[in-house]
Amino acid sequence: MSAILATQNLDELNEKAYKYLVQENYYQATQIYELLIDIEPNIKSYYWYLGLLLLLQKQEAEAQTTWLMAMMEGEESDTVQWTEQLKVVLNQEALRQESIEDYGNAVLLRQHIKELCPTDITNLLRLIQLQIKQENYTGEELTDFGILKILQSEPPVAVECELLITVLDNVLNYAPLYLSSQELVKACVTYIHEQQQANTFIHILVKSAIKIGYAQKQPAIAASILEICLSLDPNNREILFYITGLYFAYSKYSKGIETAKLSYFLSTELADQIFANNLILRGLVSSGGTNWQAACEAWQKHELLLEELKELNPTNLNSLQISRLFNTDYFTPYFQDKPQLYRKLRNSLSKVCQANIENYAQESIEKFQQRYIQQQKILNSEKTLKIGYLSHCFQSHSVGWLARWLIKHHDRDRFQINGYFISCDPAFDPLHEWYLDHFTYSYKSSIPEALTEQISQDEIDILIDLDSITLDLTCGIMAVKPAPVQVTWLGWDASGIPAIDYFIADPYVLPESADEYYSEKIWRLPQTYIAVDGFEVGVPTLRRDDLHIPTDAIVYYSGQRGFKRHPDTARLQMKIIKEVPNSYFLIKGDADEEAIKTFFYQLAEEEGVEIERLRFLPGVASEAAHRANLGIADIVLDTYPYNGATTTLETLWMGIPLVTRVGEQFAARNSYTMMVNAGISEGIAWTDAEYVEWGVRLGKDENLRQQVAKKLKVSRQTAPLWNGKQFTREMEKAYEQMWQKYVEANNISS
């Protein structure tokens, strides 16, 4: 009876000691376990807990001595068993410490488990999790702890797949670019057995690949991660869609076209077929010109698909399909200069997208409209206007470089200026930081719904879209109309989204005849739709002798993306080079290097131009150096039917004569309006023949080149194109007039 009573008392003491441990009353708990050991020295668990208490009191040496003393008396088999028991005790406490978010103690405990059982993969994975939570993870732990080696062993070790996938997600979120992170992705594939596991694994990798490829600008690494996804599910259309875009992002056009074609083959719905064919088209036109005939065929097919969509007018498309549809006619202006046809199709496509958004986002749209009504009771035409700027380009990007002057010169006494940054968090980008400092309020998010709600809550009066159809997320935000007045400016041609009220232009880039085929009202500023105070110019990284070009040669230059190089215009450029003795042609742009060389070599041969007169330039590290390198050129040859925009401004700022072919569409009149607003008419061509004539004339007439350069230099102080402050006043006046119209239309008392 006394023995039973003693046992009960010991059990009570044991329970009491553990309660003291949980309460962090380590002294009392230690006293009890020492007493228990004195009473029953053969009960090993007392030693495990006593050592644990010493460890929690940061007496690591004493803790290890306690455990070692308890194990010295046993045989090898006993030691193995006791080690497992100690590990269980330490793991239990580590889990408890994690639950109360004491990660320092949890790490300490798991490090000791690691010393006891260095190949316990579960403990090692949890240790990685803890180091990430403490922000102490370096990426070397996967190798130093032996995790990669354990996971790569044959046969595969027993591991909890859910834990492994969770750790992978943590690692990719915290340190996606580490080589060890990518090795962990490969090692995990062996442990994916069930479909649900595969789905979760693929979701994590796709999410990470998008972040790595676009936010961190490492598309090659991102594509390699998605290739691992394809090894699990080679016909997964969504993965094929994503990986195609990544291949294009680092100029692997052949691979991208191949995956795009497979995604088209796997698509059964019209909306998905349109998106897949748009990817094919993008790859063909971006690759550098040799695929132009195939691109034309894909474009013609694309036009038919879009016409079919227009006729079907579906209203049951999901948000992802709509997001992808918004910019699927992006390339039409690069093929032809027929704005009446293009705008008709553009507007109908946006109308389909808008109608579907109104179906699945009806609740949000009604909420925003209700807020307008509430605001109308208290607002008037004399209020301080709240202007919101929405873009993913508030960074070192063409739109970022150009829009900054408007933001800089805004009158803060008359306007509140908010910036809404879409997925915009570039590393080491001073222009991005500049924007953050120059808005009254700045908001960043990769979630369109969050930005949309923020715009509405901020009671923005006029929302300015800087992206147009260059970003699907922007289109989705504008379509639900979080602001009562919405405007598109700068980033591209108008989107045609019915929820957008105005498109900012000027009399030169869009004449009055354009009114009939735009769904938005064209708001023409009096002189120019864009003005800048100038550009930063660095130190040149190129000299003529670097390119083996004689000092007395005439140097022509063209620097544009691959899909701006229409063969007809490139052929005209070859005719100019042929007609001007001792001339060379510098070619720069985003395209497959070999493809672009093949394209121009073939044209040169057909036009009788020696290929030795062609030079292909690599990219440079900074925009400032790129602009400085423009000084190597005597004449810049513009593209058509899609002109340069930022490149034209940079050319004119550097005082270099430009030859442009003016067309009918917005994209074919950009350089025209910029030249007019810089006070230059020399080089403006209205036909193909005039384009060649101006190119030859400027090449042969040094005095004419000098006159143009002098005009451009003088224009820096006098021309509307270089007066950002005046331009800002005109934009502000436009905003006030837009608001006045809104006030009058809604009968708001002033």
C-alpha–C-alpha distance, residues 352 and 340, integer Å: 19
CATH class of the region 544-722: alpha beta
176 versus 265: the higher-pLDDT residue is 265
- Confidence category of residue 2, pLDDT binned at 50, 70, 90: very low
Q: What is the pLDDT of residue 365?
A: 86
Q: Among residues of the chain, what percentage have pLDDT more than 70?
A: 97
Q: How many CB atoms lie within 10 A of CB 449?
A: 14
Look up tokens 């837009």; give the residue: 738
C-alpha–C-alpha distance, residues 610 and 584, integer Å: 10
Which of 123-132, 352-361, 487-496, 591-600 is least confident? 591-600
C-alpha–C-alpha distance, residues 281 and 261, integer Å: 10
Q: Which range is most confident: 170-179, 211-220, 641-650?
A: 641-650
Q: What is the pLDDT of residue 638?
A: 97
Q: What mean pLDDT comes out for the span 125-129? A: 96
294, pLDDT greater than 80: yes
Question: In 3D, which of 662, 718, 650, 660 has the Cα closest to residue 692?
Answer: 660
7, pLDDT greater than 70: no
Strand order of the sheet with strand 583-588?
614-617, 583-588, 554-559, 635-637, 658-661, 684-685
Q: How many CB atoms lie within 10 A of CB 238?
A: 16
Mapped onto helix, strand or coil, the DSSP state of residue 351 is helix
145, pLDDT greater than 60: yes
Q: What is the pLDDT of residue 748?
A: 56
Residue 580 DSSP symbol: S
Round the average pLDDT of the chain to a whole number and report it: 92
Angle at 644 between CA 643 and CA 650, to 5 degrees: 150
Helix or strand run (H / E) with residue 361: none
Which of 100-109, 358-367, 424-433 is least confident? 424-433
Q: What mean pLDDT comes out for the span 327-349? A: 95
Q: What is the pLDDT of residues 652-675, one digit of tens each?
A: 999 999 999 999 999 999 999 999
Residues with Cβ within 8 Å of 29's Cβ and at least 6 positions away in sequence, in order, are 17, 18, 20, 21, 49, 53
- Confidence category of residue 8, pLDDT binned at 50, 70, 90: low
C-alpha–C-alpha distance, residues 30 and 97, integer Å: 18
Q: Among residues of the chain, what percentage have pLDDT more than 90?
A: 83
DSSP 52-75: HHHHHTT-HHHHHHHHHHHHTTS-
C-alpha–C-alpha distance, residues 85 and 88, integer Å: 5
C-alpha–C-alpha distance, residues 326 and 346, integer Å: 9
4, pLDDT greater than 50: no
In angstroms and rounded to an integer, the radius of gyration of the C-alpha atoms of the chain is 33
292 versus 352: the higher-pLDDT residue is 352
Q: What mean pLDDT comes out for the span 197-225? A: 92
Give backbone dihedrals phi and psi of 521, rounded to 5 degrees, phi first: -75, 130
Q: What is the pLDDT of residue 750?
A: 43
378 versus 605: the higher-pLDDT residue is 605
Domain boundaries defined on the chain: 282-359, 361-524, 544-722
Q: What is the pLDDT of residues 434-481, one digit of tens each?
A: 999 999 999 999 899 999 999 999 999 999 999 999 999 999 999 999
Task: Let me know if the fold of 361-524 is the same as that of 544-722.
Answer: yes
Strand order of the sheet with strand 415-422?
441-445, 415-422, 385-391, 462-465, 485-488, 502-505, 521-524
Question: In 3D, which of 491, 550, 552, 490 has the Cα closest to residue 525?
Answer: 490
C-alpha–C-alpha distance, residues 644 and 629, integer Å: 17
Angle at 96 between CA 95 and CA 97, to 5 degrees: 90
Q: What is the pLDDT of residue 374?
A: 75
Q: Per residue, what are the HEC states of 645-710?
A: CHHHHHHHHCCCCEEEECCCCHHHCHHHHHHHCCCCCCCEECCHHHHHHHHHHHHHCHHHHHHHHH
Q: Per residue, what are the HEC states of 262-331?
A: HHHHHCCCHHHHHHHHHHHHHHHHHCCCCCHHHHHHHHHHHHHHHHHHHHHCCCCCCHHHHHHHCCCCCC
Q: What is the pLDDT of residue 3?
A: 42
Q: What mean pLDDT comes out for the span 28-51? A: 92
- Confidence category of residue 380, pLDDT binned at 50, 70, 90: low
168, pLDDT greater than 60: yes
C-alpha–C-alpha distance, residues 662 and 682, integer Å: 13
Q: What is the pLDDT of residue 379?
A: 56
C-alpha–C-alpha distance, residues 439 and 412, integer Å: 10
372, pLDDT greater than 70: yes
- Which tokens sit at 16? 């009491």
Instruction: Report the CATH number of the 361-524 domain.
Output: 3.40.50.11380
Which of 22-31, 310-319, 585-594, 660-669 is least confident? 585-594
